[in-house]
Structure 1
Amino acid sequence: MFALTPVVRALLVINVLVFFVTNENIIQQFGLHSFLSDEFNPIQLLTHMFLHGGLSHIFSNMIGLAVFGPMLERYWGPKRFTFFYFFCGFGAALLFSGVNYFEIRDVYEAVRDYRANPTPDAFLAFIDNQAPSLYDRIITLVEQFQRNPGDPTTQEYTLKLVNRIYADQVNEPMVGASGAIFGVIMGFGLLFPNTELFLLFLPIPIKAKYLVIFYGAYEVYSGVYRAQADNVAHFAHIGGMLFAFILIKYWGSQRKTFY
């Protein structure tokens, strides 16, 4: 079905094999954690690219690699394609981690402010800003706290809940090859912009350059407006595309190659 090239085939095999041996402990140890987490390890900048959170996650990534990767590998050769793939993956991880750092720091500051002033209004404001999806589940606690704001037991419980919300966010790992794959898609769009593609959900041909523009615009929109409900690392996708663009433009500006 796909005319796979050596590096693309190797990446597919490694990702699939790792997927079948992955468990929660492996994800926690080798998924990419926040720089603010005690569980962060620099090796996670590499290892997270070979972990996936589910069948649909790995399927979509590997389809993207199989469709767009071979032409880039034939164009550049195995060494340059391999460098490009991991460069985009690292770039995606760095941008995601940078954005995540500021987001988690904001949560930490909100936690610190609540610890200093554990009132019902402050608790409600924290939940509204940092964990709105929890509101329906803790409405009874909110009402109880509002009726009796001086109750030390209720205050202590809300403090533990706020701390747990922070811990859950700072220790939530990011996994997947999506950043590298979006870099591959960007590379394909830049090098073969007028190649016509047929998408499963759109039975008409679309040029690669328009597909890249659509993906890029969607990811920027989703990242800026914090589409957290879909559990997708949009800034990792943006990072992969951005670093692909930078590297290809840099290579294009060089008269000599070293690969």
Structure 2
Amino acid sequence: MAKCDECGKHENLPYQCRRCGQTFCGEHRLPENHSCPGLNEWDDPAGVFESDFDDSVDKRGGGSKGVLDRLTSMGGPLGYFRGNMSYLFLGLMWITFALQFFVFPLFGFGPRSAVWQAVFVLSPDHIVYVWTWFTSIFAHGGFTHIAFNSIALYFFGPVVERYIDTKRFTGLFFGAGVLAGLAQVGTTLLTTGPFGPGVVGASGAIMGVLGVLTVLNPNLKVYLYFIIPMPLWVLTFGFAAFSLVAGFGDFGGAGALGGNVAHFAHLVGLLVGLAYGGRVKGSVGVPQSLQFGGGRGGPGGPGRGRF
């Protein structure tokens, strides 16, 4: 038996809205009966309803579908990726990991080579290599690093994507990831110069995702190290406080407090997420639980020059 999120009625056969994810009784199951955020997407052909038969669907509001909408709409060549970007990013992380430690070394370009560094690492001495702003998000410093980030993205990513939609989730992921990386190498440039360590890893982007989720539902129960239950806001701001202290304790992201982790990248990614969460709150649904493993998961991962 479930409880209707609109009226509180207990329902034996509840309905779940596919746009906001909340649970409703028969009386409130329709989007217009529970003020669903999906109603704001009537101009999106893949929003609340979709028609492949009426051409006027593409012209609602006097506009037309953009290229991305056409590619990712139902029946489009990239339709699978609508609602599944979290898993695409997760796959790209492991593909990049294979390129880093198996494919490139096979051709003589190991982690210490200039080619490997130029492709995968956002470095203070090569900050103008714009492609590394993005490739460094998917690259990682080792198995433990990518494993922890994969767990965090797997548990938190799909929940946030479901509530803010795929396009905004994609923008959040890349925006937080790029700004986090640039913040870390910018700090390194100012403190240790162009020969300081570079950064790799998706933790900055994932902290942005975590920041949005914290704003949407700060009391969501999560499990630290799969064991210790706590509200999400405690985990988020506890991690932020540690990153702040550790980051100022060692500007290079290494050392006793830094632990070879890019703490400023974590902090900036989180701030981006908190700011964006504040912007969208009220216009999207509020997740009541994590969909995989009851909310177990954790952010970040350690490693040399990693974030």
How much does 1:174 deviate?
1.1
Tell me how many residue pairs correspond in the alignment.
186
Q: Do the aligned residues in 2 keep the contact of 1:48 with 1:176 (CA within 8 Å)?
A: yes
SS of residue matched to 1:98: helix
Match of 1:237 in 2: 266
Task: Please report the TM-score for the alignment, with normalisation by the length of structure 1.
Answer: 0.66
SS of residue matched to 2:192: helix
CA offsets, 1:176-226, max 9 Å, x none?
A: 11110111122221112111112226x342001111111110100110111
Q: 2:96 aligns with which of 18, 21, 25?
A: 18
Kindly tell me: are residues 83 and 179 of structure 1, through their superposed partners in 2, closer, same or farther at Cα, counting changes over 3 Å? same
1:115-126 equivalence runs, <5 A: none
Identity %: 31
How much does 1:38 deviate?
5.0
The question of 1:195 aligning with 2:195 is answered no
Match of 2:133 in 1: 45
Letter in 1 for 2:276: L
CA RMSD of superposed structures (Å): 2.3
SS of residue matched to 1:194: coil
CA offsets, 1:27-66, max 9 Å, x none?
A: 40121010xx157412211111011010000001111101
How much does 1:253 deviate?
8.7
Distance 1:90 1:247 in 2: 15
The question of 1:32 aligning with 2:110 is answered no
Match of 2:180 in 1: 92
Q: 1:64 aligns with which of 152, 177, 189?
A: 152
Distance 1:82 1:204 in 2: 30
The question of 1:215 aligning with 2:239 is answered yes
CA offsets, 1:126-150, max 9 Å, x none?
A: xxxxxxxxxxxxxxxxxxxxxxxxx
Task: Please report the TM-score for the alignment, with normalisation by the length of structure 2.
Answer: 0.56
Structure with the largest fraction of helix: 1
Distance 1:204 1:173 in 2: 33
Stretches of structure 2 that go unaligned for 5 or more consecutive residues are 1-82, 101-109, 285-307
Kindly tell me: are residues 199 and 10 of structure 1, through their superposed partners in 2, closer, same or farther at Cα, counting changes over 3 Å? same
- The answer to which structure, 1 or 2, has the higher relative contact order (CA under 8 A, 6+ apart) is 1
Stretches of structure 1 that go unaligned for 5 or more consecutive residues are 106-166
Q: Do the aligned residues in 2 keep the contact of 1:94 with 1:239 (CA within 8 Å)?
A: no
